């Protein structure tokens, strides 16, 4: 397993680079649009790395991760996990070099999407809407918007063109320009300071079965040319966002085909979103890790034993899929989905561990996904700092063995089963005796109160 200490150490050095100039306006975009999705830890890491860059520069001086730990008052594991989130959402790229046993990193900061790109992204904007709600989302849209320029027919444009203002250079001047072209271009190991175009988050198209989709579309007489690279990127994002398989995606594509045999991207997005909201009681998906992060996977080699195969399955499958498999393919209810989401967010359990929890909870409660029971297991595993599928399975086995041994010991001694939880003394009393004692106690208390009230009345009359 690749633990965080195998990836980075406090003594490893790093240098911060910028893919383009970062502007002050980027801070507002990061604060209000990205922070709700990645959390304050990731936001602090990005801002700290940004602060190491001098104004209008693209490179920082070299530092150690130990300094970063002190600056953020954070352990190395949290820094590593925050770095992975920044990489996943497209705000950072990491490069590593090992020289004579010493390891050094380059952390290249990428600017965030501009507000227009973000709100029209089709994926990040959906996650943000789900996270902060309709009212706050509308407020942010107003914050990052402004009124349009006046209607064009109200004003007459009088801007001069380039050729109207400047004259062409003489041939002699052009010859001189060719002679000094080497002096004009940047040196081989340097680049001009600027800002590159920002690309939105894109899900790998290899994660979607386009061959199966194409086969279904051929039967419906949809031309192959309709699946352009841009459309494939949108389909991959929608499939990830709404958990859509190729068969379901075919129906959305058929509904988005225009008379020119082209796929209308906006209609495709709308169809997928409407379907998801209808199937999930008008809810939108939230941004959670769908499968076990690579850093927490233990079954890296080809599994051979049944246990290894189960571990590998839980590490590479989303909790939603595991739940549906246990339910015979039936979609989980809204209440079950909410419990799953709370377990992953509130107790910060990785997806693979949640898969084991689903297995244990459903088997132990006769296929009932009881919220109180699930949360009791989740809180215990969170306190035990369970992070891998193997750890969760081992803990579940130990608990099962402990319970069986307790029952056996109780039977051999002709005693009641040993309880592992703390139970008050009154719990073992005979119900009738307890009821009698309670009623006697209540009667005596009532009589005492009556006597006290009578005494007070007598004193008041005197």
Which range scores top for mean pLDDT: 112-116, 121-125, 169-173, 266-270? 112-116
Same domain, residue pair 27 and 101: yes
- Which phi and psi angles does 436 have, rounded to 5°? -65, -45
**Residue 417 covered by a domain:** no
When pLDDT is averaged across residues 372-395 and rounded to a whole number, the result is 87
Measured distance CA(407)–CA(129) in Å, rounded: 50
Token code pair at residue 348? 């910060």
The whole-number pLDDT of residue 335 equals: 75
Same domain, residue pair 440 and 399: no
Same domain, residue pair 271 and 309: no
Token code pair at residue 12? 């490893």
Q: Is the pTM of this model over 0.85?
A: no
Does residue 435 surpass a pLDDT of 60? no
Same domain, residue pair 273 and 301: no
* Distance from the Cα of residue 87 to its chain's centroid: 12
The whole-number pLDDT of residue 454 equals: 63
Does residue 397 surpass a pLDDT of 90? no
Q: Nearest to residue 200, comparing CAs of 123, 257, 301, 128? A: 123
When pLDDT is averaged across residues 205-224 and rounded to a whole number, the result is 77
**Residue 118 covered by a domain:** no
Does residue 366 surpass a pLDDT of 80? no
Token code pair at residue 130? 């789900």
Measured distance CA(392)–CA(317) in Å, rounded: 16
Same domain, residue pair 265 and 300: no
**Residue 151 covered by a domain:** no
Determine how β-strand 63-64 pairs with β-strand 13-18: antiparallel
**Residue 209 covered by a domain:** yes
Does residue 147 surpass a pLDDT of 70? yes
Q: Hey, which residues does 314 pair with through a beta bridge? A: none
**Residue 191 covered by a domain:** no
* Domain limits for position 456: 423-462
Q: Which residue has the tokens 């939603």?
A: 320
Q: What secondary structure does DSSP assign to 18-48, as a single string?
A: ESSPPPHHHHHHIIIIIHHHH-HHHHHHHHH
49-56 contacts: CB < 8 A, separation 24 or more?
A: 49/16, 49/92, 49/107, 49/109, 50/16, 50/22, 50/109, 52/16, 53/16, 53/18, 53/22, 53/109, 56/21, 56/193
Same domain, residue pair 55 and 28: yes
Same domain, residue pair 298 and 403: yes
Mean pLDDT score of the chain: 76
When pLDDT is averaged across residues 370-394 and rounded to a whole number, the result is 87
Measured distance CA(365)–CA(374) in Å, rounded: 10
Structural domains counted in the chain:
4
Q: Nearest to residue 324, comparing CAs of 332, 313, 316, 314? A: 332
**Residue 160 covered by a domain:** no
The whole-number pLDDT of residue 64 equals: 92
């Amino acid at each position: 397993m690749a633990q965080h200490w195998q990836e980075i150490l406090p003594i490893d050095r790093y240098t911060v680079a910028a893919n383009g100039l970062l502007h002050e306006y980027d801070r507002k975009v990061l604060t209000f649009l990205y922070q709700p999705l990645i959390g304050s830890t990731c936001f602090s890491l990005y801002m700290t790395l940004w602060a190491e860059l001098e104004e209008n520069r693209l490179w920082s001086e070299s530092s150690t991760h130990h300094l970063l730990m002190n600056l953020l008052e954070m352990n190395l594991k949290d820094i590593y996990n925050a770095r992975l989130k920044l990489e996943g959402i497209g705000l950072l790229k990491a490069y590593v070099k090992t020289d004579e046993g010493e390891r050094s990193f380059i952390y290249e900061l990428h600017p965030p999407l501009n507000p227009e790109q973000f709100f029209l992204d089709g994926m990040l904007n959906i996650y943000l809407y789900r996270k902060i709600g309709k009212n706050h989302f509308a407020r942010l849209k107003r914050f990052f918007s402004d009124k349009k320029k006046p209607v064009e027919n109200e004003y007459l444009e009088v801007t001069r063109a380039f050729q109207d203002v400047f004259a062409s250079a003489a041939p002699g001047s052009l010859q001189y320009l060719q002679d000094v072209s080497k002096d004009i271009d940047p040196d081989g190991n340097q680049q001009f300071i600027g800002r590159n175009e920002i690309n939105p988050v894109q899900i790998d198209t290899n994660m979607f079965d386009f061959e199966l989709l194409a086969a279904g579309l051929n039967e419906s007489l949809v031309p192959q040319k309709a699946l352009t690279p841009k459309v494939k990127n949108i389909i991959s994002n929608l499939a990830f966002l709404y958990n859509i398989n190729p068969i379901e995606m075919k129906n959305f594509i058929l509904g988005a085909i225009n008379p020119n045999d082209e796929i209308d991207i906006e209609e495709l997005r709308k169809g997928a979103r409407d379907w998801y909201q209808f199937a999930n009681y008008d809810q939108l998906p939230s941004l959670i890790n769908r499968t076990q992060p690579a850093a927490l996977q233990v079954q890296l080699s080809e599994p051979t034993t049944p246990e290894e195969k189960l571990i590998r399955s839980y590490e590479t499958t989303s909790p939603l899929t595991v739940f549906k498999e246990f339910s015979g393919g039936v979609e989980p209810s809204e209440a079950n989905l909410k419990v799953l989401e709370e377990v992953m967010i509130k107790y910060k359990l990785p997806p693979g561990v949640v898969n084991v929890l689903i297995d244990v909870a459903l088997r132990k409660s006769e296929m009932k996904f009881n919220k109180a029971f699930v949360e009791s297991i989740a809180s215990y595993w969170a306190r035990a700092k369970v992070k891998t599928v193997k750890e969760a399975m081992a803990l579940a086995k130990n608990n099962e063995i402990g319970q069986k041994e307790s029952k056996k010991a109780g039977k051999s001694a002709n005693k009641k089963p040993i309880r592992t939880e703390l139970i008050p003394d009154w719990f073992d009393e005979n119900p009738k005796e307890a009821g009698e004692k309670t009623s006697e106690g209540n009667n005596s208390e009532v009589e005492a109160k009556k006597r006290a009230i009578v005494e007070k009345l007598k004193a008041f009359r005197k």
